[in-house]
A = this chain, B = another copy of it.
Amino acid sequence: MAKDKRTAFFISDGTGLTVEAIGHSLLAQFRDQQVEQVTIPYVDSAEKLQLVLKRIEQAAVESGLQPIIITSIVSNEIRRQLHQSSALMLDVFENYLTPLANLFGRDPAQSVNVSHGIADDRRYSERIEAVHFAMDNDDGRRVREFDRADLILVGVSRSGKTPTCLYLALQFGLRAANYPITEEDMDSTTLPKILRPYRHKLFGLTIDPERLMSIRQERRANSRYASLEQCEFEVRQVEQMLRRAQIPCLNATQLSVEELATRLMSQAGIERRIG
């Protein structure tokens, strides 16, 4: 805990992923504020709660600033005790469970937060299957499985295809293959022959040449591969190719993997398999 820096604690009885995402969203609306962000998952016992409360008071004393708690704890007892700390307490559940209980005409289950639980075997299998599909079909490795793909990402090397495919698999259970357009494919601006039968499954990723250069420099500094000239050439050729073939396309330069995945699903009208 740094001095003069406020701490926000994201406290959960589960993975903490949901409450952390809410915390990031909320704090992003106050970007000029220096806030140390700490996620504490699996707070599901009185002993763990005592350690957390100590940490909160310590942060308050050391920084001289009131800490923030954002929590989605389900247990009434643990929430009550958190409310008694000196922090500003934002309770994600309390404002919403009551109106929902009224709507449904029944009390909430008071069961520990299970939003990231295994849910069911089918969901698990779809997901694992999708992850292995993405791994096996990375970098055009196994074109013969393209028949089974939900979508095929195409673009130059290091345009963000691999992480996007893996994210699509993990988050949405989609079978996403990817195919790198390499220099040999760039002699003409027509789609590589191998991709033509799958035109309706293709989605292009493009990227600004300067950004591509900086990504490639980290991988192979001072190589021809990472030169601005080469990046400009490849991006131009691939953009022409995608335009001619009327393949839908996103520019990855300013987008995170989450944004790429959700935007392309939205643009191409691809429905998730799990979720």
A14 partner residues in chain B, CB cutoff 8 A? 259
* Category for how many chain A residues contact B: 35 or more
Least CB distance, A156 to chain B, in whole angstroms:
14
Bound CA span A117–B254, Å: 8
Say yes or no: A33-B104 contact (C-beta < 8 A), given A162-B135, A167-B170, A262-B41.
yes
Q: Confirm or deny: A227 has a beta carbon within 8 angstroms of a beta carbon on chain B.
A: no
Contacting B at CB under 8 A, from A12-32, are 14-18, 20-22, 24-32
Stretch of A52-60, A95-103, A184-192, A242-250 on the interface side? A95-103
Q: Confirm or deny: A266 has a beta carbon within 8 angstroms of a beta carbon on chain B.
A: yes
Say yes or no: A88-B103 contact (C-beta < 8 A), given A30-B109, A95-B95.
yes
Contact with B along A118-162 (1 / 0, CB 8 A): 110100110111011001001000000000000000000010101
Contact with B along A45-66 (1 / 0, CB 8 A): 0000000000000000000001
Q: Is the CB of A259 within 8 A of B100?
A: no
Say yes or no: A170-B162 contact (C-beta < 8 A), given A97-B26, A115-B24, A118-B259.
no
By beta carbon, the residue of chain B nearest A29 is: B108
Least CB distance, A178 to chain B, in whole angstroms:
12
Q: Is the CB of B92 within 8 A of A22?
A: yes
Q: Is the CB of B30 within 8 A of A108?
A: yes
Q: Confirm or deny: A68 has a beta carbon within 8 angstroms of a beta carbon on chain B.
A: yes
A171 partner residues in chain B, CB cutoff 8 A? 17
Q: Could you tell me the dominant secondary structure of chain A's interface residues? A: helix
Least CB distance, A109 to chain B, in whole angstroms:
5
Contact with B along A61-80 (1 / 0, CB 8 A): 00000101010101000000
8 A–B contacts from the bound complex (CB under 8 Å): A29-B108, A41-B263, A41-B266, A42-B263, A116-B258, A118-B259, A121-B214, A131-B162
Given contacts A28-B115, A29-B74, A163-B170, 13 further A-B contacts (CB under 8 A): A18-B21, A18-B25, A25-B93, A26-B97, A29-B108, A32-B106, A42-B262, A70-B96, A88-B100, A90-B99, A119-B256, A131-B166, A132-B162
